[in-house]
Amino acid sequence: MQSAICFNNIDVQPVYAPWLTPGTTLNVLRLDKLHNVVSGNKWFKLKYYLADAAKSGCTTIGTFGGAYSNHIVAAAFACRQAGFKSVGIIRGEEPAVPSPTLQQAAACGMQLRFVSRTAFKNKEALQNTGENIYWINEGGYGHYGAMGAAEIWQHIPAAGSYTHIVCAVGTGTMLAGLISGAAVNQEIIGISVLKNNFSILNEVAALLHKTVTAGINIQHGYHFGGYAKHPPALIDYMRKVWHDYALPTDIVYTAKAFYATQQLITGGSIPSGSKVLMVHSGGLQGNASLQNGMLPF
């Protein structure tokens, strides 16, 4: 919990899988190794919001999320580290036993405010508290988030050698950042973890200052039933990925993105001979919602 953020821990893990097509290589960018709590893309997405908040003179940061939100715990940690107070508006009534995520956020000094699922939908009303709070969108969606996510590129060794980069898509902020930093010959493929979230194309385009969505590749067939849904087939797959490649994944984002990567390669959408990088965006919080012992890691 108290350990430092360590960019040097980020590395690339080659995956030697029997299902790779001829000449195709697959590497996984282990952003999850950044930190044991603030793992992955959330740190990148928060960076420029915190800088902007400091510039504006605000001393308190507020943001939104669910009881297992990677964003909430990352925001709580990052705020404490940067000397901000923090407020987390949490979706749903206060649970009798707080989730590990909420416990960690509270331990970082975040003041948790529980609101009903209905009230949670109206962010404008929730922000209207009369306090001097710098608000960050749920999931860090926005221009500053994408600017920070673009810096993920700096941590990809031999970044220019990849032909295809695959990542999970929630708000699409990370995808927008990766697209903005890509070379013209690199294809960035986003795997939507929400069911039928077709408006995401425009939301990503908005972060790229574009009105056209052509050329933004988001796959909608790998949500396994919807956000955070984890049927036994997904859990089995996660066990196998751990067993075969020593790769820990999470039920919300990275297991689905890794599965999609395999399917896109074996199905030929990513042609043989490609140099593929799958971004392990971190965030194992979702797994804490599972029963103990369900996963071997």
Ligand X SMILES: *Cc1c(COP(=O)(O)O)cnc(C)c1O
b vs e for 241-258, b when ≥16 Cβ sit within 10 Å of the residue's Cβ? bbeebebbbbbbbbbbbb
Subset of 150-169 contacting ligand X (CB under 6 A): 168-169
CB of 131 to ligand X, least distance (A): 26
Instruction: Please say which residue, 115 or 255, places its beta carbon nearer to ligand X.
Output: 255
Q: Which residue has the tokens 């990370």?
A: 174
- Minimal CB distance residue for ligand X: 283
Q: Does residue 248 bind ligand X (CB under 6 A)? A: no
Instruction: Please say which residue, 26 or 284, places its beta carbon nearer to ligand X.
Output: 284
Q: Which residue has the tokens 């751990």?
A: 242
Which of 34, 281, 287, 295 contacts ligand X by CB under 6 A? 281
Instruction: Please say which residue, 62 or 282, places its beta carbon nearer to ligand X.
Output: 282
Rounded Cα gap, residues 169 and 139, in angstroms: 11
Give me the residues paired with residue 93 across strands.
Answer: none
Which among 201, 258, 270 has a CA at the least distance from the CA of 224? 258
Which of 173, 186, 249, 274 contacts ligand X by CB under 6 A? 173
Q: How many CA atoms lie within 13 A of 218 on its CB side?
A: 30
Subset of 178-237 contacting ligand X (CB under 6 A): none
Residue span binding ligand X (CB under 6 A) among the ranges 39-47, 123-131, 154-162, 180-188: 39-47
Q: Does residue 66 bind ligand X (CB under 6 A)? A: no
CB of 103 to ligand X, least distance (A): 18
Instruction: Please say which residue, 24 or 257, places its beta carbon nearer to ligand X.
Output: 257
Instruction: Please say which residue, 15 or 252, places its beta carbon nearer to ligand X.
Output: 252
Which among 99, 106, 108 has a CA at the least distance from the CA of 3? 108
- Strands 25-30 vs 12-15: parallel, antiparallel or unpaired: antiparallel
Cα dist from 259 to 11, 186, 266, whole Å: 20, 21, 11
Q: Does residue 174 bind ligand X (CB under 6 A)? A: yes
Q: Does residue 70 bind ligand X (CB under 6 A)? A: yes
Rounded Cα gap, residues 61 and 212, in angstroms: 33
Which of 24, 63, 101, 171 contacts ligand X by CB under 6 A? 171
Provide the binding-site residues for ligand X, judged by CB under 6 A: 40-42, 70-71, 139, 168-175, 253-254, 281-283
